[in-house]
Amino acid sequence: MKEHLGVLISEEEVSARIAEMAATLDQEYAGKTVHLIGILKGSVFFLCELAKRMTVPVTLDFMSVSSYGDGTSSSGIVKLNKDLDESIEDKHVIVVEDILDSGRTLSYLIQVLKGRNPKSLRVITLLDKPERRVIPVDLYMTGFEVPDRFVVGYGLDCAQKYRNLPYIGVIEQ
Ligand code: IMP
Ligand code: MG
């Protein structure tokens, strides 16, 4: 089946919003080093753009998780495929995720990371689909709220495709 893509959020809008988010973090973390944790693979485009625009010192690490589900929704059973390389003890950690949907993946991750004694722990996402929330997640900042539609691009995939789109698109069947 051929999928048709529509633009939900343009490249210019995404870029401008990420610059704003970076400026907010620079103010909030002035004088500190921020340890960004990207959740592979969806967060990488957002994380790179954000980190490039931040002026406070930044260190990076990555985690990979998969949550068993039917492909478009997660089950809540989260498997840790790749753990962090470094300890987060005493660090100012920001978890960077592509999208907050049911909240299952992030609530599991927050629980795991809190147990490792970071100095502070916050979560930011590029996108938030509040209508879909099943488990509440304390989100520090999000780029955009999006409606309950399957979105792709800027790191987000549909069966591994479309991650490299420079904008947020929606699949129109
Ligand atoms: P949650 O555990 O339901 O919050 O799922 C979050 C994960 O599901 C995200 O990190 C994405 O990988 C994936 N996801 C949720 N909604 C979408 C979407 O609209 N497009 C692409 N991936 C999505
Ligand atoms: Mg993801």
Q: Whose CA is nearest to atom 5 of ligand 1?
A: 101
**Cβ distance 37 to 93 under 8 Å?**
yes
CATH class of the domain whose range is 11-149: alpha beta
Pocket test for ligand 1, best of 39, 95, 99, 132 (most atoms within 8 A of CB): 99
Ligand lying nearest the CA atom of residue 78: 1
CA-nearest of 95, 106, 163, 169 to 133 is: 106
What does 70-91 look like in DSSP terms, one character per residue?
Answer: SSSSEEEEEEEEE--SS--TT-
Indicate the domain borders of the chain.
11-149
Q: Which residues contact 76 (CB under 8 A, 6 or more apart)?
A: 67, 102, 104, 108, 134, 135
Q: Return per-residue pLDDT of the chain as tens, 173 residues.
A: 577 899 999 999 999 999 999 999 999 999 999 999 999 999 999 999 999 999 999 999 999 998 766 555 666 678 899 999 999 999 999 999 999 999 999 999 999 999 999 999 999 999 999 999 999 999 999 999 999 999 999 999 999 999 999 999 998 87
155: Cβ below 6 Å to ligand 1? Answer: no
At 84-108, the pLDDT tens digits run 999 999 999 999 999 999 999 999 9
The residue type at 46: F
pTM to 2 decimals? 0.94
Q: Which residues contact 166 (CB under 8 A, 6 or more apart)?
A: 11, 14, 153, 154
Pocket test for ligand 1, best of 62, 98, 146, 154 (most atoms within 8 A of CB): 98
For residue 146, give both structure tokens: 């999006």
